[in-house]
């Protein structure tokens, strides 16, 4: 076969995550954001979230030949896998009840906040609890916006909705978080 033609086929058809090196590079670039997404979405402990992160990347590795996008698209693809795993975990463990929230993880402060003096740890704990009480869609949008760090347009593309809807949901979610926030500081 003509070399030129073969090369063009080769370029176009090589799955971008096919090799261990390419996959490892994507892992390095994305695993923190995948962890934050799962941790924000899942009501369990950081340890459980880490297990789900590992499972997400293992599933992605097994399906890597089916992924055709570029590096930017890889994170969205990974988050879709992670989302399914979180839903499965909720179904298995019955995590979507508020009783489970009382057993929220005692995550070391250094894991929760790099600058532990900047933000009160108890407030973060409260935030995690309140986040878990939001409707699924609102919670996911907040997690994508603030924990993953995506812009409104990226969130809309990922969730297949409009920019306007994402913006509205963010405002409503923040208002809802405020309404649900305990009155007394002792509650915190």
Partner 1 sequence: MNEHDKRPPEEQIEALLEGWQPLPSARLQQRVADLPWNQRSKPMKRSRRMRWAGAMAAVLALLIGVTLSVPSLRATAAELLGFANEKSDTTEKTVTFVGPPALQGSVAAVEAQAGFHVREPTYLPSGFVFNKAMYSQYSDGKRSLVQYQSSGGQPAQRSMGIVIEAAQWRYDPHAKQIAVGASANIENVSINGFAGQYVKGMWVPAPGTCDQGCGIEKPTPAPGDTENMRFQWNADVSIYVVRWQEGDMVYQVLASGDQFTKDEVLKIAQSLR
Using CB under 8 A, list all residues that contact partner 1.
1-16, 18-25, 27, 31-32, 35-36, 39-40, 46-47, 49-51, 53-54, 57-58, 61, 65, 107-108, 111-115, 118-119, 123-124, 127, 142, 145-147, 174-175, 177-179, 181-185
User: Nearer Cβ to partner 1, position 100 or 124?
Assistant: 124
User: Nearer Cβ to partner 1, position 92 or 179?
Assistant: 179
User: Nearer Cβ to partner 1, position 2 or 160?
Assistant: 2
Q: Smallest gap, in angstroms, from Cβ of residue 80 to partner 1? A: 19
Rounded to 10°, the helix 71-93/46-62 angle is 120
Q: Smallest gap, in angstroms, from Cβ of residue 5 to partner 1? A: 5
HSE of 163 in the Cβ direction (CA atoms, 13 Å)?
Answer: 5
Q: What DSSP letter does each residue of 72-112 carry, written as one string?
A: HHHHHHHHHHHHHHHHHHHHHHT--SHHHHTT-----HHHH
Q: Smallest gap, in angstroms, from Cβ of residue 112 to partner 1? A: 5
Give every CB contact of residue 151 below 8 A, 6+ residues apart in sequence: none
Three-state secondary structure call for residue 22: helix
Please name which of 135, 144, 137, 146 lies closest in space to residue 165, comparing C-alpha atoms: 137
Q: Smallest gap, in angstroms, from Cβ of residue 92 to partner 1? A: 19
């Amino acid at each position: 076969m003509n070399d030129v033609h073969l090369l063009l086929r080769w370029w176009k058809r090589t799955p971008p995550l096919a090799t261990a090196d390419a996959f490892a590079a994507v892992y390095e670039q994305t695993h923190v954001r995948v962890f934050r997404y799962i941790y924000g979405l899942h009501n369990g402990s950081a340890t459980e979230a880490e297990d789900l992160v590992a499972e997400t990347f293992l599933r992605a590795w097994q399906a890597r030949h089916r992924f055709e996008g570029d590096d930017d698209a890889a994170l969205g693809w990974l988050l879709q896998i992670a989302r399914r795993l979180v839903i499965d975990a909720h179904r298995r463990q019955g995590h979507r009840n508020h009783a489970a929230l009382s057993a929220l993880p005692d995550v070391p402060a250094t894991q929760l906040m790099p600058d532990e003096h900047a933000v009160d740890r108890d407030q973060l704990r409260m935030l995690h609890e309140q986040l878990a009480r939001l409707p699924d869609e609102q919670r996911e949008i907040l997690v994508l916006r603030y924990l993953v760090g995506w812009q409104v347009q990226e969130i809309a593309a990922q969730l297949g909705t409009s920019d306007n809807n994402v913006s509205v949901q963010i405002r409503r979610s923040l208002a809802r978080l405020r309404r649900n926030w305990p009155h007394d500081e002792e509650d915190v």
